[in-house]
Structure formats: C-alpha cells, structure tokens
Structure 1
Amino acid sequence: MSDVQNPYEQFAHRIRNANLLDDISLVLNWDQQVTMPEEGSNARSLHFSALSSTRHELLTGERTVELLEAIDETNLSTDERITLREARREIERKRSIPESLVEEISETQTRAFDDWKAARETESFDRFADPLCDLVKLQRERTDYIDASQSTYSVLLEDAEPCIDPETIDGLLTALRDGVLDLLNEYGDELSESAPAPLDVSGPFKAEKQQELCERALTMLGYNWKRGRLDTAPHPFDGLSQFDARITTRFDEEEPFSALLSTIHEFGHAAYNLGLPDKHYGTALGRARSHSVHESQSRFFENHVGRSRGFWERFMPTVREIFPEFESVSVDTVLAHLNSVDRSNQIRVKADEVTYHLHIVLRHEVEQQLLSGDITVEEVPEVWNDRAERYFGTSPESVVDGALQDVHWSTSFGMFPNYSLGSMLAAQVATAIEREIDDVNTLVREERLDEVHDWLTENIHQRGQRDTTDELIECATGRPLSAEPLLDHLESNIRTQLAR
C-alpha cells in the first residue's frame, strides 16, 4: 500500500506502535518497582532510554511528519479524526524536544528513583538532592522547547491534564483549599472533642493476612483477576492497559486498613483501564482521557465506596474471618476510625478525606516555587516543613514524612493537582449516579455494584479520548468541574461523624 494512497493508515500504525512502546515502559516500570534485582537499575535505565528514544522517533520523525501533512482530513471518519487530533497534540509538543534530551531525562529518572529509595532508607534528603536538581534543570529545558512563553510548571501541568488550562486548575485548587480550611475552622473544635478512640485491637497484622484481605475486597468489588494481580511496591500504583490492569499496595502491620484503602484506590484505576474498549487498544479511543479523570475513578472507589457504611456492612464478616481479633468490633467503630479527621497527620496516602487536599495544595505550591526558581532544591525540606506547620499544625518528624514522602518527583512534576481534580469529579460522579440510579451507599449495600460499573463504563471508560476533559465531565455529570460538590460531600461526612 503506497504512501500516497493511504497516508492515514500508515500514520495511525506508527502512532499505535508508539503507544504500545509506552505500555512496554509501564511493564518495565512495574518490574523495576516490584521484582527487579537491586542492581538491575543500570541496565533498566538504558532500556527506558532506548524505548523513549524509539517512541520519540515514531512520533516526531521525518516520516511521521510527512504522513501527517499528507492526510486528507475530509475523508476521515469521526474515530479517525479523534486519533489524528490526539496524536497531533502530542506530536506538536514532542517535535520541539531534541531526542538527546529525551534520552537524558529518561536515564536520569531511572537513577533518581533508586536515589529516592536510598534517601528514604537513610533519612537524608541530600542523597536525593543532586538528582532532583538535575531533573528540575532538565524539565526547565524541556518545557522551554515546548513553549517558552509559559512557566515551566504550566507546561508540566498540561502533560498530565492537557484539556484544563493551568489558570483554571489553580483556581479550583484555591477554592478547594479555602473551603477545606473553612470547614476545619468551623468544625475543628467539635472534631477534636469527638475524635474516636483508637481501635481496641492491637497488631501486628501480618502482611500475608492483609494480602488476603485486600484480595477478598478486590473480588467483592468486581476485579477481573484474569487481567490483573496484586503485588507490593514502595509506593502503591497501578498501570498498563485494558488487558493487564495489575495493582500494587504496601502493608503497615500496625494499621490493618491502610493497605485496604490503598488497594481499593488502585482498584478504581484498574476499573478504568479494564473498562476501556478492547477493540481500540493502542489508539486514542482505547486510552484514558487524562490523569485527573483517572484519579476520579480511584477516589470514587476509595472514598464513596470504600468508606461507605454499605461497604463495611458487607465486608466486616470477611475482616472478622481473616482477623478474628475484630470479632467484637462494630461497623460503627470501623467507620469512625476510617472517617475521622486528623489534621495533624503528615502522610498524604494516610490522610483523611477532608485534610487530604491540603497535602495536595502543599505539593502544588512547593512545585511552583521550585520550578520557577523561587526556591532551590536544598530549600525544599524547609519550605515543605513551613507549609506543613501552616496546614497541619506541626512539621514532619523526619524528611521521610516530608519532602521525601512521595516517589513522584523522581519521575514527574505537575501530577499532584490531578488527585484533587479527580476528587472533585468523583463527587460529581457520585451525585450523577444518585440522580440517575440510586445513592452509592445503597447500591453497595444491596450488592448492585454492577450498576455502578455499567454507569462508569458507559459514561466515562468507553469514551476513551473521544471528548476533551471538560466535555466528558459536563456530559457525564451535567455540570462543569467545580469544588462545590466535593466540599458539600466533605461537610456531609463531617456532620455524619459528629452525629455518631
């Protein structure tokens, strides 16, 4: 088939191969974090570099550009136009970046992950400072190639969420931050006075038993084990595709429900991947819309399902079966434990649903300052601690609980806002499901999660990248993205907590 006769087909083939290389990188990342031998990182950095370079060439090489220019859009179907739209956006961003810089960033990220792990083990930010400094420099260089008229941070925000402009993201986070602080100011004293007593159950809760507990929860939620698995990693994550939606978690033997909620969170990501259309695998129609939409699915399952009374009424017998010491612990006690508000907590992944967003805002603000040059890498721990003092009332006890807490900076920047954007969308999704079917708590309690999955699949998952993020949100939920539904949800939870 000649170039002249079918430029679109050849172009689409190259784009699909580039997307498949992206998925191969995700498999290698999973291996690096879960099973790779300790000294495998040198080879792995070269693997990632070769894949990044090859993918970059497929997207931006001369042949791809020739085919793109030769495509006659008037003869394309709607699906083909969507594929072209999404590919063109990525190509335009990547064409300006030298291949050598792509390789250098990939190699540096791989080494930075190992340095981040070592820094946490030694509780020393210095071990991570140099690679972080390198990554900041490289990202400034990269974003200048993409759009030197924008700030580095604005360009990076568009990597993960290409359809919501940075000013809108900042406005939404500001509204959410102020709303959360208002709730804490209004209800803080009452929450402190009515704080639930610690669970009258002591550990250790062995990791293998927690693994079984998490697996049972995944089965109850409808996880497709033929296309998934559960493993452990230093930082929980999910990945891959509609054919391979594996999950990782981590266990705290003193806290039996931390890994469970983390696993339910990652299940939401897996549910999105598994809901993408099989027939469009490797194309824009078979890929998730954006990181913020992905986070809406994980936050929906973690908070609107996993913290609901309906879930625990069904799941508590399983908890008692695996951990008999919970035999006399009531559902009300567990709900109070899981939904209590603890402003002093310093760990994002262990944060309650209300104060979680202050953790996001902290990172959002520190990243902005770091990438703009307002602060140096060496100043990050101090700036982090100052903001922690402001938002949580105390500073972290160690840098492991502060500036070394998250793995994200070893690989990317501008990702954190999407956790809160996703929470906003999750609240709107829950409201839409209640309006169209029933409230989520009732659906969970009555074992009607299949109706939830069907709604999410039809309105979000199967859409792939057909719509822009704002189009998808408004079509699915009936309104533009807003902090208001989430703040209403958080206040309702606080009132429920105080009424117990």
Structure 2
Amino acid sequence: MATRDTDPYAALTEHVERLTYLEDASGVLGWDQQVTMPEGGAPARGKQLSTLSGIGHDLLTDDEVGDLLDACEAADLDDEEAAVVRETRRRYDRATSVPGDLVERHAQASSDAQQTWQGAKADDDWDAFADTLDELRELRVERATHIAPDAPTYPTLYDDGMPTLPLATVEEIFADLKDALVPLVDDIRENGDDLADPFAGQSFPEDEQSALNHAAADFLGYPDDRGRLDLSAHPFTSGTQFDARITTRYKEKSPLDGLTATIHEFGHASYQLGLRDDEYGTPLGSARGEVHESQSRFWENHVGRTRAFWETFLPTFKEHLSGVDDLTAEEAYEAANRIAPENVIRVEADELTYHMHIILRHEIEGEYLDGDLTVEEIPARWNEKMEEYLGVTPEATGDGPLQDIHWTGRFGGFPSYTVGSVLAAQLTAAMEEDLDIEGCIRDEAFDKLWEWQTEHVHRHGQRYTADELVEVATGEPLSADAFIEYAEAKFGDLYGL
C-alpha cells in the first residue's frame, strides 16, 4: 500500500477521516444538548459547537485539500476511490466559498436558537422566536450568496442536504402528489367508512409508554451495544455505524404517536448501523442524506403500520399498556392508519396528509428566503396554507410554525421527508420481488428486511449519487408512481372506497 507521502489518495482520505471524526464529536455534543444537558449549559455549548465548526471548516478548506483533490482527479482511480474524491470535491468547493467567521457565527447562532425555540414553543410565543429566525435567515442568505452569487437562495440551501437529487425531480413529485392525494383525502372524508379511535378517552402514563417503546426497539432488533433510546422535545437520530442513538417523545392520550416515532427513528438508525465499518470516516462509510428518510419511512409505514405487524406485535403492546386488553389487531391496524386531516402537527400526521405539511413548509421557506414573506407574516401565511391544503387552522403558533425545530439548523431540508416516503414505497416494491415482506413481519424475521436494505442501500454509502442509488436499488428512476399506487390500494381497502 502506498504511503501518505507518495499516495495523494491516502493523504486525502486521512484528512477526510480526521474531519469526519471532528464532526461526529460535534454530533455527540448536539445530541447531549437536546437530551441530557442542563438548561444552564446552553451558553457554553454554543461556544463549544461554534469552535468545533470553525476548526472543521479550516480542516476542510485547507489548501492541501485542494492540491490533493487536483492530484487525485489526475490519477487512475477505481470507482470507489473516484466517489470519495467526488464527494470531497463537492464539499471542498462549497466550503471554500464561505468565510470561516461566517461558519462560526452560524454555528453559534444555530446552537443558541435551539434554546430560544424551545422556550418560544413552550410559551406559544412567535414573537420570542421571530428575531432569532430573521438572524438565521440573514446568515443563510449570506452563506448562499457566497456559494452561488447568481442563484436563488432556496435551491442553494436545498443543495446542502440533497445535492445529488435535482430539485426539479422533487417539485415534479410534489405536483404528482398534490394531484393524487388531495382528491384521495377528499374521497375518504366524503365516502369512506368511519374508523373508530380505540384509545379515545384513555390516558397512558409515560412510564408505561417508555417500557413499550423500549420493548418495540428490542422487538425490531435495535442493538443495545450500538444504540440507545431517550426522550427529546423533537424525535431525532444521531450517530455513526458504531453508535446510532434515537429519541422519541410521548403523548399521554395517544400511545401510537410515541411508538411510530420510535419505529421511524429506528429506521434512521438502521441505515447508520448498516454502513460499512471498514470505511468509517470516509464518504463510503457515510449515509447518502437524500435517501435517509426512505429508511425511516420504510420501517414506520411499510412495517409498523401493517396488519402483519399488529398481528404479531399486539401481545407486546398489551403487555406494557393498561386499558387495552380488549384491543384487536384489526382495531390497532386501523388506528395506526386513520386519516386525520384535522391534525395540525406534522410528526403526528397520517400517512397521506403528512405530505401536505411538507409541501406547505417547502413553499413558505421559499417565499421567506426570497423576501416575499416577512417573519411577522409567517404565522398568517402558515394558517392560510393549512386551510387550503388540509381544511384546518392551528389555534396556536406552537402548533403552527413553531412546532418544528428544523429552522434552527437549516432551511431546504423538508423535501427529504416526502422524498423518503416516495422512495420507501419504491424500495418496498423492489423488495417484494425478493422477499415475502408480510411473511417476514409475521415471523418476526426483521433481520431479513434489514439485510435487504443494507445490501441494496446501506453498504453503498455515498458511492453513488442519490439518483444513481435509486436506480441501483430499485431498477427505476425515482418517481411518485409506486407511492401513489400503494396509497390508493391501501387506503381504498381500509376505507371501503
């Protein structure tokens, strides 16, 4: 094997690995900030994350990295090596466009904003968050201007998280979903059978729900030695292939909310844990962000919301919750799939109306970043679009534009959630050609489902661009077709349409 002194590729990967380790350390600090850090620790944590972000920026933009990239691009590389160089080049070119002091200012502001958001949400006080959001917007517009001076802001920020899946593809998917899902939801409202809520009027203590959700994680095969389940204000996953942690939250009146969140985050963790151990630190051992949500949506919807799942999981469900002794598997299945357009909370939305929440956020972000919408106008615009798409208006901003933490971290990320659902359906259709998915669920052979996803998605890391990976995994380009076919069949049957 060539040494660092003679092999530019070896030198480049060593540099990239050091950067990844630093970023993953920041990730642990971020996890701690949302899960275990005392409230008074926020000022110090902001400085810590800002400093690490600045050091990471310096590492990535070092002149040596540019020289090594030039040398690697002139060398004879195999496909995997070329992928590492391609991904590093993209990050390098983007990062060298942004001044280091701006990176640190943004990291500090983003960290501070998390505490501000939590307080504003708890107090239902949009004004308490508005100035912070405007500050973040200014920083992000400034950053986007450095990266692509002549391009609109939103597409530039979208590329932060989904650089290899064209925005035009996503907007085409959004248009197809609007055309298909709005009429389907209207049909369910007007002509569908009524589905009862078997949990109405009941309360479920947090300790019972906690025991249930830990049991559910064990049931699916979440490994204790490489993960943990905790509580946070907003469920999320953080970590690597060696340590992928998940969080959830509980609602006293609705035990399925916490459960579906746990299964969703387990799906994210399954991706991280399915990455190659031997490539940790390089793009080949890193998840393709554009497809991450497909893994959480697969487990949440195509496993956790199926009849087969509830037929096999119901005894565990009953074991940990009181007051559900008479619940049947069919009642649980229907409850997990009830369409509830009146629900104003995205993470609690049903499988169909969820996408209207995403499209709404996508459109508001674009208007706000382009300067067509002021921060003071966001709540009213939010309510207007909620009424247009879902026929409901939230009563409080805590249930409206303050419900998500995402704007404290970035703009342009919401489309990934709908892309995830669409790709999950496409992956499921491809998986069904190789496996009896329902049979695997009934037999509790979840490892077979996980292994299929690892073989077709996880193990590739970032070897392929997102659009290439979709074709490698499913044999077809990404489209809304599989999801629409799945949704119409499932909910047509469920609601007797």
Instruction: Decide: shared fold, TM above 0.5.
Output: yes
Contact 2:267 2:299 in 1 (8 A): yes
Per-residue deviation at 1:179? 1.5
Shift of 1:342: 1.1
1:225 aligns with 2:217: no
Cα deviation per residue 1:430-470 (whole Å; 9 max; x = unaligned)? 111111222x2232012222221111010000011111111
Q: In the alignment, which residue of structure 1 is the partner of 2:466?
A: 469
Q: Which residue of 2 aligns with 1:406?
A: 404
Aligned partner (choices 427, 432, 453) of residue 456 of structure 1: 453
Q: Shift of the alpha carbon at 1:70?
A: 3.5
The one-letter code matched in structure 2 to 1:463 is: H
Say whether the 8 Å CA contact 1:343–1:392 is kept in structure 2: yes
| TM superposition shift of 1:130 | 0.6
Q: CA deviation at 1:220?
A: 1.3
Partner of 1:62: 63
Aligned counterparts of 2:360 and 2:475: Cα–Cα separation in 1: 30
Cα distance change on mapping 1:201 and 1:179 into 2, 3 Å: closer
In 1: Cα distance, 2:334 partner to 2:200 partner: 14
Match of 2:486 among 462, 485, 489: 489
Contact 1:73–1:81 (8 Å) recurs in 2:
no
Q: Which amino acid in 1 is paired with 2:238? A: G
Aligned to 1:423, the other structure's residue is in SS state helix
Q: Quick one: distance in 1 between partners of 2:164 and 2:66?
A: 23
**Offset, 1:201:** 5.9
For residues 104 and 434 of structure 1, the distance between their equivalents in structure 2, rounded to whole angstroms, comes to: 48
Aligned-residue identity in percent: 42
For residues 237 and 200 of structure 1, what CA distance do their matches in structure 2 show? 26
Residue type at the aligned position of 1:393: G
The answer to whether structure 1 residue 184 and structure 2 residue 185 are counterparts is yes
Name the residue aligned to 1:428. Answer: 426
Contact 1:112–1:131 at 8 Å: present in 2 too? Answer: yes
Which residue matches 1:370?
Answer: 368
- Unaligned stretches of 5+ residues in structure 2: none
Q: AA paired with 2:194?
A: A
Q: How far 1:72 sits from its partner (Å)?
A: 6.0
The aligned runs of 1:271-420 (5 Å cut-off) are: 271-290=270-289, 292-420=290-418
**Larger deviation, residues 74-83 vs 163-172:** 74-83
Q: CA deviation at 1:113?
A: 0.8
2:82 paired with 1:81: yes
Equivalent-residue separation in structure 2 for 1:31 and 1:249 (angstroms):
14
Structure 2 counterpart of 1:106, one-letter code: A
Corresponding residue of 2:496? 499
User: Could you list the per-position Cα deviations for residues 172-192 of structure 1 after superposition, in whole angstroms to 9, with x for gaps in the alignment?
Assistant: 11211222112123333023x
The one-letter code sitting in structure 1 at the alignment partner of 2:271 is: Y
Give distance in 2, aligned partners of 1:259 and 1:110: 26
2:105 aligned with 1:107, yes or no?
A: no
- Cα displacement string for residues 404-438 of structure 1 (whole angstroms, at most 9, x for unaligned residues): 01000011111110000010000001111111222
Q: Secondary structure at the match of 1:119?
A: helix
Deviation at 1:20, TM superposition (A): 1.3
Rounded to whole Å, the distance in 2 between the matches of 1:61 and 1:123 is 44
Whole-angstrom distance in 2 between the partners of 1:351 and 1:162: 27
Higher deviation after alignment, 281-290 or 71-80 = 71-80
Q: How does 1:204-283 map to 2 (within 5 A)?
A: 204-283=203-282
The offset of 1:24, in angstroms, is: 1.1
The 3-state SS of whatever aligns with 1:76 is: coil
Cα deviation digits, residues 367-394 of structure 1 (max 9, x gap): 0100111101111111001001111112
The corresponding residue for 1:31 is 32
Task: Report if the CA contact (8 A) 1:201-1:326 is conserved.
Answer: no
* Structure-1 separation of matches of 2:208 and 2:79: 50
- Which deviates more from structure 2 when the two are superposed, residues 382-391 or residues 66-75? 66-75
1:174 maps to amino acid:
A
Measure the CA separation in 2 of the matches of 1:397 and 1:458: 46
- What SS does structure 1 have at the residue aligned with 2:433? helix
Give distance in 1, aligned partners of 2:201 and 2:298: 30
CA distance in 1, matches of 2:272, 2:201: 37
1:359 and 1:275 map into 2 onto residues whose CA distance is 30
Aligned letter for 2:135? Answer: D
Structure 2 distance, partners of 1:232, 1:377, is: 30
What is the CA deviation profile of residues 219-258 of structure 1, one whole-angstrom value per residue up to 9, with x for unaligned ones?
Answer: 1111111100000000000011000011000011111111
Question: What is the number of residues matched between the two proteins?
Answer: 496
Asked if 1:199 is matched to 2:198, the reply is: yes
Instruction: For 1:103, give the aligned amino acid.
Output: E
SS in 1 for 2:130: helix
Matches of 2:160 and 2:339, distance apart in 1: 33
In the TM superposition, residue 204 of structure 1 has moved relative to its aligned partner by 2.5
Shift of 1:330: 0.8
User: 2:467, 2:478 within 8 Å by CA — same for their partners in 1?
Assistant: yes
- Measured after TM superposition, the shift of residue 3 of structure 1 is 7.0
Q: Which AA in structure 2 matches 1:332?
A: E
Rounded to whole Å, the distance in 1 between the matches of 2:450 and 2:84 is: 26
Q: What secondary structure sits across from 1:248 in the alignment?
A: strand
CA contact (8 A) 2:180 2:484 kept: yes
Contact 2:283 2:462 in 1 (8 A): yes
Indicate conservation of the 8 Å contact 1:201/1:325, yes or no. no
